[in-house]
Amino acid sequence: MIYWKNYPQLSLQLETVQKTLLATIKVKNPQTQAAILSLLSSGGKLLRPAYLLLFAELTSLDADKRIALASSIELLHTATLIHDDVIDKAETRRGVPTISHLYGNDVAVYAGDYLFVVIFKLMIKHALDLSNLSNRVDAMEKLLDGELGQMNLRFNTEQTISDYLNNISGKTAELFAQACAVAPFADGQDKLAKLSYDIGQNIGIAFQIMDDYLDYTADTTTFGKPVLADIRQGIYSAPVLFALSADENVADLLKKEDFEGVFARIKATHALEKTQHLARKYTRKALKLIEKLPENPVKSDIRQITENLLERKL
């Protein structure tokens, strides 16, 4: 776990999570088995399990439960990635061919479904009682409802930054919020769970804005591939929305598919700087809330990891 080399205890726990993930997948179809395992070991940072394990240090949960919960949140993330790749017709993910590209949409759709079931299996067998489980399921419902809700806004040039923030709250931030809150919640620490949830929400929102920002700055003279693909599908992230709100011609340029024109307006309206400022606002909110966590050696790790994560390249 090279990304976590400065946090040896966390790194060890994440290795156990990694082993648990690989041991949990037992699909009859050998190709699907190989494809899921390869995705799970293709060097994702295990960010969500890491936050879960960090916040678990503030609880009295035993090691087995922590590992099971951390594994299940990474599986949930993985299941949504597999289904996202079907939807986006993506050919690679983290440098390896996607399941949908290698074996077709049929295998990819069922592989994601299979992971959903495995998630529940892990939660039921190792981690949660019925009332905790019920809360988890409500959270997953919220997450998927968020994914479905945002689809209304495709190609809508009237949407605002506030719509965008609403979308990424459901899409990205909910999973971070769950990662931070689930251990305190399972431990019965409702007040801490609420604070942790809010921290995770702000981290997730800042993380997604950063991601959308970096897509645009990968190459400064023209759109990068992911940006073009998104815009073509009617997905407008912060830079486009800031340009839309500052310059009434941008809506027309989008409709005419004049993407070079859109990019020129993004530059002229300082939309990228505004995006960066927006990300920073949520990063600061997250860091401010982290200060409210109870005193504990893990608190400075959470602060440091969050700063490193969100201030990369900013």
Binding site for a copy of itself (CB under 8 A): 26-32, 79-80, 83, 86-87, 103, 105-107, 109-114, 116-118, 120-121, 124-125, 129-130, 133-134, 137-138, 140-141, 144-149, 151-152
Query: Considering the complex, what minimum distance in angstroms separates the CB of residue 220 from a copy of itself?
Result: 30
Q: Where are the alpha helices (DSSP H) in 156-189?
A: 161-168, 174-186
DSSP 151: G
Measured distance CA(32)–CA(38) in Å, rounded: 10
Query: For residue 52, which of 185, 142, 165, 146 has the smallest C-alpha distance?
Result: 185
Within 10 angstroms of residue 306's Cβ, the number of other Cβ atoms is: 21
Q: Of the two residues 3 and 116, which places its CB atom closer to a copy of itself in the complex?
A: 116
Within 10 angstroms of residue 99's Cβ, the number of other Cβ atoms is: 28
The one-letter code for the residue type at 111 is A
Q: Of the two residues 152 and 222, which places its CB atom closer to a copy of itself in the complex?
A: 152
Query: Considering the complex, what minimum distance in angstroms separates the CB of residue 84 from a copy of itself?
Result: 9
Q: Of the two residues 141 and 219, which places its CB atom closer to a copy of itself in the complex?
A: 141
Q: Of the two residues 34 and 293, which places its CB atom closer to a copy of itself in the complex?
A: 34
Q: Of the two residues 98 and 283, which places its CB atom closer to a copy of itself in the complex?
A: 98
Query: Considering the complex, what minimum distance in angstroms separates the CB of residue 266 from a copy of itself?
Result: 25
Query: Considering the complex, what minimum distance in angstroms separates the CB of residue 311 from a copy of itself?
Result: 32
Strand partners, 97: 92
Q: Are 207 and 172 in contact (CB under 8 A)?
A: yes
> How distant is the alpha carbon of residue 126 from its chain centre?
24
Distances (CA, A) of 278 to 118, 129, 274: 37, 39, 6
Query: Considering the complex, what minimum distance in angstroms separates the CB of residue 152 from a copy of itself?
Result: 6
Q: Does the CA dihedral 121-126-130-133 come out positive or negative?
A: negative
Q: Of the two residues 38 and 105, which places its CB atom closer to a copy of itself in the complex?
A: 105
Query: Considering the complex, what minimum distance in angstroms separates the CB of residue 163 from a copy of itself?
Result: 13
Measured distance CA(227)–CA(222) in Å, rounded: 10
- Specify the DSSP element, H or E, that contains 238: helix 238-246
Q: Of the two residues 146 and 200, which places its CB atom closer to a copy of itself in the complex?
A: 146
Query: Considering the complex, what minimum distance in angstroms separates the CB of residue 191 from a copy of itself?
Result: 25
> How distant is the alpha carbon of residue 38 from its chain centre?
19
